[in-house]
């Protein structure tokens, strides 16, 4: 009797597992990760705020007003105060978010595309091609990232596009290694052979077997990459080699804030809070995705 | 330590170093405007002047010739002369090494001690409140831009509280340069860099110790009745320590990057600061020298990490 009961339970469990698709299982695990969920909400909010900047911003972000310099936050007409030439800080933060988030996302895409291409080509051809590409990754990894970023940034005309490409060019190596390892290990795994033996078509194998099993580390890397790209852009712009004024990015808003520490500390505090909030959210989401996508994760 | 492993590993370094030097060299020379961008764009510098400078610096030679001259000079420790002021690059860099070594050394010390303590406690009390706070806190710290973290430290501890100097390597004038004075200047940049590294490393230490506690020999040690403390000391920590040494080597590029950021914010007169100054003036010989030196040290750091791991795990040596 007890055996039958156990067997029924196992069967029920399997049936539930079979009915709950991969996407739903991931979503359920992700939702259990409260900080990741909060991170996702913050990211959505930041995106909406940046996208709606023209609607939400109370002023033109570049409107200079010498009469209203260094207004403290919560002043009657400026919620987050004004900077050294009287520009509205809230408006600038909103518009800066557009630039910073765009660079973060676009650089991530560059990283993933270049990294995946290098990884797949290396794993597919193997031999000399593999050796050359992976040694190239070693070469790039031998330079401290910031040194490489700054040299490249200092030698090209700075723009959103060039900064994006530079950040991507210095970050593809990790993705290339992950993709290569994934490609090599999945190709040789039993379930892929089994699926093929069962007569599954190539697209089915790729969609149902390779994609869910191979994408997880790439998705996680992509999320963390956005965080790192936002950090990289902010530092390059802070030093003056990135986004050029009058265009605003969170990094460049900090560029000369140090000179006004005593008079206007909010100029140094607010953009940094914005960067930290965005980066932290992407890191939390990345962490949550890592847990949710890991098939070995024990059920909670 | 197996000698053959060491020799093979040393030989593997050579093509990597050559590739690094070629990449660094091409980066500088393929840059729009090239090494003379600063002069060609300056209206007060005539075309004849530019030609003279090119002649003087050997910039009109074919690129492969320039590369070979540069690489062989660099091999003998001759990095050429600064475009700005003409001082010997070697001299400029040697001057800055102590400051960077002090900063990186102090940060390494903070990060290893604090990171190990936090990581070990988190691993031994896995899923406890401490573990949760430590891992979350680490993620928060890693999300704060280091340069802004530095700015906030200056704002709070130098501007508001007046506990620390707002920057620099030592006080100017009388009373400057003493040991206490220099330590006083070191506290803030080393703490900022040290905390950022701590955040990163406590996570590695945690998983490194968790790896070891999951091993069969640890279970055996527990099973044969050894006390918890003895197992920790003799089996767990001893085996977790080498991966930690390896981490210190592998993380060298991150520490160099972090040191540059800390130096830029705190006005710390080290190699990172020299790099940024050289960048402002497109001072190619200095930039090239610093790029090559840091990359070379990173390669050495990886070698040391491999050796540490080779001692820890005999399987790697044969690999």
Structure tokens at A207: 């969609």
When the pLDDT of each residue in chain B is averaged and rounded to a whole number, the result is 84
Residue B40 lies in a domain: no
Residue B157, Cβ neighbours under 10 Å: how many? 17
Chain-chain contact of A143 with B279 (C-beta, under 8 angstroms): no
Both tokens of B17, joined, read: 């170093």
Least confident of A89-103, A140-154, A274-288, B43-57: B43-57
What pLDDT, on the 0 to 100 scale, is given for residue B272?
93
Residue A5 has pLDDT above 70, yes or no: no
Q: Where are the domains of chain A?
A: 100-300
Cβ-based burial of B244 (10 A; exposed 0-12, middle 13-18, buried ≥19): buried
Tell me the pLDDT tens digit for each residue of A34-55.
889 999 999 999 999 999 988 8
Structure tokens at A35: 């900080």
Q: Is A231 within 8 Å of chain B by CB? A: yes
Please report where in the chains the tokens 């290694």 appear, as a residue. Answer: A177
Q: How many CA atoms lie within 13 A of A33 on its CB side?
A: 27
Asked if residue B289 belongs to a domain, the reply is no
State the pLDDT at residue A49: 93
Whether a cis peptide bond, with omega within 30° of 0, leads into B72 is no
Q: For residue A199, which phi and psi values (nearest 5 degrees)?
A: 90, 20
* A88 DSSP β-pair partners: A82
Structural domain boundaries enclosing B251: 89-274
Is B217 a domain residue?
Answer: yes
Residue range A180-207, pLDDT digits in tens: 888 787 777 777 778 778 887 766 766 6
Lowest mean pLDDT across A139-143, A154-158, A280-284: A154-158
Size of interface A-B (CB pairs under 8 A): 125
Residues from chain B that touch A156, judged by Cβ atoms under 8 A, are: 31-32
Neighbour tally for B118: CB within 10 Å: 24
Q: Do A279 and B279 touch (CB under 8 A)?
A: no
The end-to-end CA distance of chain B, in Å, is 14
Average pLDDT taken over every residue of chain A: 83
When computed from its CA atoms, the radius of gyration of chain A, rounded to whole angstroms, is 24
Q: A93: closest CA among A85, A84, A101?
A: A101
Helix (H) or strand (E) holding B155: none
Q: How far apart are alpha carbons A265 and A250 in whole angstroms?
A: 15
Name residue, tokens 């031999």: A127
Residue A295 has pLDDT above 70, yes or no: no
CATH of span A100-300: 1.10.3720.10
**Residue B81, beta-bridge partner list:** B88
Residue B14 to residue B6: CA distance in whole angstroms: 13
The answer to whether position B173 is within a domain reads: yes
Interface test with chain A among B145, B155, B278, by most A beta carbons within 10 Å = B145
CATH of the domain at B192: 1.10.3720.10
Note the pLDDT tens digit of each residue in B219-231.
888 888 888 888 8
Residue with tokens 């409107």: A63
d(CA B104, CA A275): 26
Q: Say if A272 is an interface residue toward chain B (CB within 8 Å).
A: yes
| Domain-located, residue B294 | no
Return the higher-pLDDT residue of A234 and A259.
Answer: A234
Q: How many domains does chain B have?
A: 1
Chain segment B160-177, per-residue pLDDT in tens: 888 888 777 777 766 666
C-beta atoms of B147 and A254 within 8 A: yes
Question: Which residues, at least 6 apart from B221, have a Cβ–Cβ distance to it below 8 Å?
Answer: B230, B231, B234, B235
How far apart CA B49 and CA B52 sit, in angstroms, is 5
pLDDT at A182: 82
Query: Does residue A22 have a pLDDT over 80?
Result: no
Q: Is A139 close to B279, i.e. CB distance below 8 A?
A: no
List pLDDT tens digits, range A75-86.
778 778 888 777
The pLDDT tens digits for B253-284 are 999 999 999 999 999 989 999 999 998 888 88
Please report the ipTM that was assigned to this predicted complex.
0.86
Q: How much is the pLDDT for B57?
A: 67
Task: Look up tokens 């080393």; give the residue.
Answer: B190
């Amino acid at each position: 009797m007890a055996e039958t009961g156990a067997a029924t339970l196992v069967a029920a469990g399997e049936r539930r597992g079979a009915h709950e698709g991969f996407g739903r299982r991931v979503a359920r695990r992700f939702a259990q990760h409260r900080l990741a969920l909060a991170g996702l909400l913050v990211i959505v909010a930041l995106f909406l705020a940046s996208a709606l900047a023209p609607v939400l911003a109370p002023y033109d972000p570049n409107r200079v007003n010498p009469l209203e310099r260094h207004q403290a936050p919560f002043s009657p007409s400026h919620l987050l105060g004004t900077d050294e030439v009287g520009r509205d800080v809230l408006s600038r933060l909103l518009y800066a978010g557009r630039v910073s988030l765009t660079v973060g996302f676009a650089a991530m895409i560059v990283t993933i595309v270049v990294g995946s291409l290098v990884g797949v080509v290396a794993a597919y051809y193997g031999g000399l091609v593999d050796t050359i590409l992976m040694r190239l990754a070693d070469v790039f990894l031998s330079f401290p990232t910031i040194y490489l970023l700054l040299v490249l940034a200092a030698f090209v005309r700075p723009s959103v596009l060039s900064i994006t490409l530079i950040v991507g060019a210095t970050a593809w190596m990790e993705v290339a290694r992950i993709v290569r390892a994934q490609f090599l290990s999945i190709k040789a795994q039993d379930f892929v052979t089994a699926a093929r033996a069962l007569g599954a078509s190539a697209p089915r194998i790729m969609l149902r077997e390779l994609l869910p099993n191979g994408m997880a580390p790439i998705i996680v890397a992509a999320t963390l990459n956005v965080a790192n790209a936002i950090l990289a852009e902010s530092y390059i712009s802070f030093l003056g080699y990135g986004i050029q004024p009058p265009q605003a990015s969170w990094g460049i808003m900090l560029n000369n804030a140090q000179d006004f520490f005593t008079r206007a500390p909010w100029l140094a505090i607010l953009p940094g809070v914005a960067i930290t909030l965005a980066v932290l959210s992407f890191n939390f989401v990345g962490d949550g995705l890592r847990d949710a996508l890991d098939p070995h994760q024990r059920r909670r | 330590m197996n000698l053959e492993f060491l020799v093979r590993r040393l030989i593997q370094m050579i093509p990597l170093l050559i590739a690094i030097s070629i990449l660094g060299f091409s980066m500088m020379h393929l840059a729009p405007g090239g090494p003379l961008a600063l002069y060609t764009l300056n209206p007060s510098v005539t075309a004849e002047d530019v030609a003279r400078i090119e002649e003087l610096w050997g910039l009109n030679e074919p690129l492969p010739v320039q590369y070979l001259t540069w690489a062989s000079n660099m091999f003998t420790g001759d990095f050429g002369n600064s475009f700005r002021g003409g001082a010997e690059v070697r001299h400029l860099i040697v001057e800055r090494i102590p400051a960077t070594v002090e900063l990186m050394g102090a940060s390494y010390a903070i990060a290893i001690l604090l990171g190990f303590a936090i990581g070990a406690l988190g691993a031994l009390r896995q899923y406890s409140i401490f573990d949760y706070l430590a891992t979350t806190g680490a993620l928060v710290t890693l999300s704060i831009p280091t340069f802004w973290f530095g700015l906030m430290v200056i704002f709070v501890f130098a501007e508001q509280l007046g506990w620390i100097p707002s920057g620099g390597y030592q006080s100017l004038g009388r009373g400057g340069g003493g040991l206490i004075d220099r330590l006083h200047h070191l506290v803030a940049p080393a703490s900022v860099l040290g905390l950022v590294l701590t955040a990163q490393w406590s996570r590695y230490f945690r998983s490194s110790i968790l790896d070891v506690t999951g091993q069969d020999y640890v279970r055996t040690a527990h099973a044969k009745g050894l006390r918890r403390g003895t197992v920790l000391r003799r089996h767990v920590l001893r085996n977790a320590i080498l991966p930690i040494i390896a981490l210190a080597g592998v993380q060298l590029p991150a520490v160099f990057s972090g040191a540059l950021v800390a130096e830029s914010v705190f006005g710390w007169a080290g190699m990172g600061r020299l790099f940024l100054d050289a960048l402002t003036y497109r001072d190619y010989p200095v930039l090239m020298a610093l790029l090559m030196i840091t990359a070379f040290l990173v390669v050495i750091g990886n070698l040391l990490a491999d050796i540490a791991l080779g001692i820890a795990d005999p399987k790697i040596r044969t690999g």
